[in-house]
Amino acid sequence: MSLLDKLTADDLDETQRELADCIGMEAYRKLVATYAGETITIRMPDRLTIRLRNDDIRSEYNGYNISELARRYNMHPNTIRRIVSEIRSEKRNEQLPEQLDLFSG
């Protein structure tokens, strides 16, 4: 058994105790054993979920709703255009469900 295994929250300063309380003492010990002395960057939530957000935007894009998506996601329309650029022409050429086909019989 190492000294780290004996470590309790009472042995920590306030900042380290808050971290241990947040992730649990066992995870804190593992974090210390693995990354002690190193700088660790914890990403902002919006940076962690950017791919998921962009996937949602692509799935909601219908070829004509860039302004609506820009408002919903609080983004500039040009940013929405960039996100959907790969599927934009494909979606714009799809027939809308309420759209009549001029050539169908």
**Residues 51 and 88 placed together within one structural domain of the fold:** yes
Structural domain that includes position 66:
45-92
pLDDT at 102 over 70: no
For the chain, the domain total comes to 2
Q: What is the tens place of the pLDDT at every residue in 28-42?
A: 999 999 999 999 999
Its pTM stands at 0.64
d(CA 38, CA 35): 6
**Residues 50 and 86 placed together within one structural domain of the fold:** yes
68 membership: H or E segment, kind and range:
helix 66-72
**Residues 58 and 21 placed together within one structural domain of the fold:** no
Counting residues of the chain whose pLDDT is more than 90, the rounded percentage is 74
